Chains A and B, each alone.
Chain A
Amino acid sequence: MAQQYEIPVGAQHISLLEPLHFKFTTENEKIVHTDANVYYVHRGIEKACCTKFKFRQVSFVVGRVCGLCSISHTTAYSQVAEKLLKIEIPKRAKYLRMLVIELDRIHSHLLCLSHVAENSGFEALFMKTMQYREFSMELLEAICGNRIQYDFSIVGGVARDLKPEVANQVLRRLDHFMPQLEELADIFRNNWTLSLKNKGVGAISRETALRLNVVGPFARAAGLAVDVRNETEDLLPWKEAGFEMVTETSGDVYARNMVRIRELYVSISIIRNIINGLPETPIVTETKAFPDGEAVVRLEAPRGELFYYAKGNKTQVLERLKIKAPTFSNVAAMVEAFRGNEYGSAPAIIASYDPCLSCTAR
């Protein structure tokens, strides 16, 4: 047996956006074992949501669980609260929620791709991707009024309507973005240097993905066709808006990049369909009821399935709120997928998981 070394990465590291600690046990260059510590950013949001805040305020608090997918959190919470209140929201509100979720997915996926490029050592591609990503931030600002914390979904509907000029601007900017996306897709697909760091690295098989209950692009890259958008139609009509499932088979970093790139095309077509067929209805349902009973909601955030459980007790304050974020499901597989890879590839693998520790730890 070769000599084993322990290499810590984190909590503060250039390749990490968030505090996350991995302890790699390596033999020569190969990683044989990994320990992860993912709870650096545990703040106690679940408790505060059931004690400090009223149920209408909670939708703004849960947005602060994660800045990258705040719209997914606020929407999932609003949906679960609407289930407890037993109200149905107008169709236009549903479409506007989907619109913002898809725009958010574009910016989140582009951020992840740029981060993979940076951690693979391809600084120029990082800059290029970040440059192209700015259009989605500007559009989100035009629609919601803020660049990252949108506070767009509220209990009963959405907070703002979409102005026709903004809708036109979205379509125009998307047309402008298409050739840029082609360029990025070409680099991520065909660049030889990048492929050395990405192809065959950090792979997991479909069986492992099933066994460890992986979700999101991580699972879809391994050939497991799971996507909440493919499932229910009653909360948000994804299929009506033109959703298509994207899967790859090899399960490595390259496949995860490809899944993200191809999902961008799907998101863009969904956004176009939504804007072209936006129904004319009010945007909120008013109610004076109080939440009662139990409900669960699942929603596809950029990183996978987001799960909310809520229990109400006919008062302003909820009895219990449980948030399960996508990365939480992937922690077990994240630790597995390092095994057998070189230590030098670890940063690229970490970035390709697209981990969101704020979501996981709450």
Chain B
Amino acid sequence: MNKIATSLDTVQEDIGRFYDPEQHHFMVMNAVDLGQQLEIQWFFSHYAPPYDTTTFFALASPDATIPSIRSIVASAWVAEAELVDLMDIRIEGSEKGFVLEPDFDSGPLRKNK
């Protein structure tokens, strides 16, 4: 796994420069709770040898708004909508309620909840 550090301000630019639909496959977006901060990860794999995985990661505070990459990767909306509910974060253009019921306090995967 090949990890590339990025930040919330530059992630759209970085992924936009990297992603080529003919060569890369967007897998999923993930977040890990590190206590004070969240580590947001975007996973890509390659269609051609050596078929390795490239991960972009950025640190974000829990109340930051995370830029959406759906203008670059068309199918990313599913992963983003899921993460909004499970991690209780804000992502541009994603609404709550895709995964969990509205009467549920969101963010079950956060440590302090």
Contact = CB atoms under 8 A, between A and B. Distances in A.
- A–B direct contact (CB < 8 Å): yes
Interface of A: 39, 42, 44, 46-47, 210-213, 215, 226, 231-232, 294-296, 298, 305, 307, 309, 311, 319-320, 322, 324, 328-329, 331-333, 361
B108 A47 contact: yes
Contacts of A296: 1, 43, 53, 55
B29 to A, nearest CB: 9
A49 to B, nearest CB: 11
B75 A329 contact: yes
Nearest to B53: A296
Interface in B33-79: 33, 41, 43, 45, 47, 49, 51, 53, 55, 73-75, 77-79
Interface residues of B, number: 30
Contacts of A42: 99-100
Contact of B75 (A231, A307, A320, A332): A332
Nearest to B24: A213
A331 B78 CA distance: 7
Contact of A319 (B32, B51, B55): B32
Contact of A298 (B53, B75, B100): B53
Contact of B109 (A47, A232, A332): A47
Contacts, number: 70
Contact of A212 (B27, B41, B74): B74
A213 B75 contact: yes
B74 A211 contact: yes
Nearest to A298: B45
A157 to B, nearest CB: 24
Interface residues of A, dominant DSSP: mixed
Interface string B93-113: 000001110000000110000
Contact of A329 (B27, B33, B41): B27
A333 B75 contact: yes
A213 B74 CA distance: 8
Contact of B78 (A46, A47, A210, A332): A332
Nearest to A210: B21
A307 B43 contact: yes
B79 to A, nearest CB: 8
B27 A324 contact: yes
B75 A295 contact: no
Contacts of A307: 27-28, 43
A322 B28 contact: yes
Q: Chain A CB within 10 Å — which of B25, B77, B108 has the most? A: B25
B43 A309 contact: yes
Contacts of B43: 296, 307, 309, 324
B108 A311 contact: no
Contacts of B108: 44, 47
Contacts of B98: 39
A292 to B, nearest CB: 15
B9 interface: no
Given A46-B109, A298-B45, A319-B32, 12 more contacts: A39-B98, A42-B100, A47-B109, A210-B21, A213-B73, A226-B25, A298-B27, A305-B45, A307-B28, A324-B28, A332-B75, A332-B78
A250 B38 CA distance: 43
B1 A295 contact: yes
A322 B1 CA distance: 15
